[in-house]
């Protein structure tokens, strides 16, 4: 009969990984951590800033006059627009006249190559934009830190016989085009976000000029309705602002996930983060709260590092964690604020767009959490999970967050 000590060891052995299994776990997860770190270092430096969409606003009046305004972010001219900081007003003021004209020429070239306007059934038209420097939403540049936009305007007269107007975002542009139309002095409720290769709905222009057909072209959209389409279109944009465009947002969500895989702490954290960033996104979009991106973006990067470091040094879920997540959720909402601001939308379009965008962001977050859970659910041992997933993953996330914070605050 074996002694008590031997029996004890024999009973406990199956519950402990042997040395071969432990080495296998260690090898696998160290390689995985290094691979993830390499991946995010390569991709993350590119996606350090929000993607600069191109708002395209059209104003069609009852007498047939038309104004089309395009707002081009100078970051679009870089090979990797998301890596570039905003062009600030003080930098513009120090530019020579030749440098300013070069920016205008680049904006004119981008609009000609990647955005196509059509008056149906006439076909493609070539707008002659006149460019100038403004703030977001055609506002006046005032402060030194104001982001500079290159805003182009084209004034024309809708020819007789025109049935409708549509926009195509041509392949190769790399950025989305936000189409907002106004008809007879009122904004059209439907907002259309076009990704490269997509074409907008047909705006019904019948009745603006003489000699028009009695019936609008099938599929045309007038000034009534469109909130449902706006909701669905912005839902997609919200999802894509997280996956794959929002690498910093993805890392924050992964940092939240790594604290605990139990559903209750995870649910509380995700819900708190959702409420917080929804609040500030709405306030910023309505213009009630405005915080310069030079402040918002470094803080977002810092939030990633703080959450990741807390996973290492404060591994237990507490109310303090909810306060941290809530505070940083408020900041992340400001980071999304450029999606609908300064577009002059109707109240119905704004509500539908905000709702759709927020739900899209939540779907993106859930996709990240689901992928992380499926990738780690087979690891049942909590000690192994923490040692070879939580700690290496949190270190990698913290390193990237700290680098982004330094880059955004001092190097950009």
**Residues contacting residue 61 through CB under 8 Å, at least 6 positions apart:** 184, 185, 208
How many domains does one find in the chain? Answer: 2
Same domain for 262 and 382: yes
Same domain for 406 and 291: yes
Q: Is residue 390 part of a domain?
A: yes
Same domain for 190 and 89: yes
Same domain for 100 and 41: no
Where helices occur in 218-292 by DSSP H, the ranges are: 227-242, 247-259, 263-285
What's the pLDDT at 82? Answer: 67
Same domain for 356 and 252: yes
Final residue in a domain of this structure, among 199, 214, 229: 214
Q: Is residue 340 part of a domain?
A: yes
Query: Residue-wise pLDDT tens for the chain (412 aa)?
Result: 444 443 333 334 344 444 445 454 444 444 444 444 434 444 333 333 445 688 999 999 988 899 999 999 998 888 777 667 788 899 999 999 999 999 999 999 999 999 999 999 989 998 999 999 998 888 899 888 788 999 999 999 988 888 899 999 998 877 789 999 999 888 888 888 898 899 999 999 887 764 333 333 434 444 344 678 888 888 888 888 888 777 888 999 999 999 888 888 888 888 898 889 889 888 887 778 877 777 888 888 899 999 999 999 988 888 888 888 998 888 888 876 655 666 667 777 778 888 888 889 889 988 999 999 999 988 888 889 898 999 999 999 999 999 988 887 776 6
What's the pLDDT at 337? Answer: 63
Q: Is residue 232 part of a domain?
A: no
Burial of 340 (0-12, 13-18, 19+ CB in 10 A): buried
* Count of Cβ atoms closer than 10 Å to residue 157 Cβ: 12
Same domain for 193 and 112: yes
Same domain for 163 and 97: yes
Q: Which of 71, 56, 348, 354 is nearest to 223 (CA)?
A: 348
Helices (H) and strands (E) counted in the chain, each on its own, are 12, 12
Final residue in a domain of this structure, among 174, 199, 214: 214
Same domain for 273 and 195: no
| Residue 307 Cα to chain centre, angstroms | 21
Same domain for 37 and 157: no
Cα 308 to Cα 399: distance, rounded to the nearest angstrom = 9
Q: Is-contact 125 119, C-beta < 8 A?
A: yes
In what helix (H) or strand (E) does residue 362 lie, and over which residues does it extend? Answer: helix 347-376
What residues make up the domain containing 155? 54-214
Alpha carbon distances (Å) from 6 to 2, 9, 19, 145, 182: 6, 5, 19, 73, 83
Final residue in a domain of this structure, among 214, 231, 262: 214
Q: Is residue 80 part of a domain?
A: yes
Q: Is residue 385 part of a domain?
A: yes
The first and second tokens of residue 343, run together, are 């577009």
- 192 DSSP β-pair partners: 179
Same domain for 195 and 64: yes
Q: Is-contact 225 189, C-beta < 8 A?
A: yes
Q: Is residue 92 part of a domain?
A: yes
Q: Is residue 167 part of a domain?
A: yes
The first and second tokens of residue 215, run together, are 């019936």
Same domain for 146 and 41: no
Q: Is residue 305 part of a domain?
A: yes
Same domain for 200 and 133: yes
């Amino acid at each position: 009969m074996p002694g008590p000590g031997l029996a004890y060891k024999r009973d406990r052995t199956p519950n402990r990984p042997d040395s071969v299994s432990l080495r296998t776990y260690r090898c696998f997860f160290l390689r995985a951590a290094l691979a993830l770190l390499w991946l995010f270092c390569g991709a993350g430096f590119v996606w350090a800033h929000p993607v600069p969409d191109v708002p395209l606003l059209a104003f069609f009046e009852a007498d047939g006059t038309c104004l089309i305004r395009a707002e081009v972010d100078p970051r679009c001219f870089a090979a990797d627009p998301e890596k570039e900081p905003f062009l600030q007003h003080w930098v513009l003021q120090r530019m020579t006249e030749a440098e300013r004209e070069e920016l205008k020429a680049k904006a004119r070239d981008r609009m000609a190559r990647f955005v196509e306007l059509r008056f149906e059934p006439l076909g493609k038209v070539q707008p002659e934009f006149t460019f100038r420097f403004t703030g977001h939403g055609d506002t006046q540049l005032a402060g030194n830190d104001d982001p500079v936009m290159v805003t182009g305007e084209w004034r024309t007269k809708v020819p007789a016989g025109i049935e409708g107007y549509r926009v195509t975002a041509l392949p190769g542009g790399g950025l989305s085009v936000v189409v907002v139309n106004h008809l007879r002095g009122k904004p059209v409720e439907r907002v259309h976000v076009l990704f490269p290769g997509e074409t907008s709905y047909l705006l019904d222009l019948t009745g603006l000029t003489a000699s028009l057909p009695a019936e609008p072209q099938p599929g045309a959209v007038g000034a009534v309705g469109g909130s449902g389409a706006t909701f669905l279109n912005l839902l997609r944009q919200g999802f894509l602002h997280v996956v794959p465009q929002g690498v910093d947002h993805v890392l924050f969500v992964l940092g939240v996930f790594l604290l605990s895989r139990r559903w209750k702490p995870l649910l509380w954290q995700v819900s708190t983060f959702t409420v917080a960033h929804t609040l500030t996104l709405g306030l910023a979009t309505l213009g009630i709260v405005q915080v310069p991106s030079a402040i918002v973006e470094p803080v977002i990067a810092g939030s990633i590092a703080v959450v990741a470091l807390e996973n290492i040094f404060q591994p237990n879920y507490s109310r303090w964690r909810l306060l941290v997540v809530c505070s940083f959720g408020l900041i992340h909402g400001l980071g999304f604020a450029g999606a609908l601001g300064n577009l002059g939308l109707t109240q119905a379009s704004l509500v539908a767009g905000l709702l759709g965008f927020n739900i899209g962001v939540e779907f993106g977050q859930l996709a990240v959490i689901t992928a992380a859970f499926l990738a780690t659910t087979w690891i049942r041992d909590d000690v192994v999970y923490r040692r070879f997933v939580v700690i290496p993953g949190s270190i990698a996330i913290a390193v990237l967050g700290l680098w982004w914070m330094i880059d955004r605050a001092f190097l950009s």
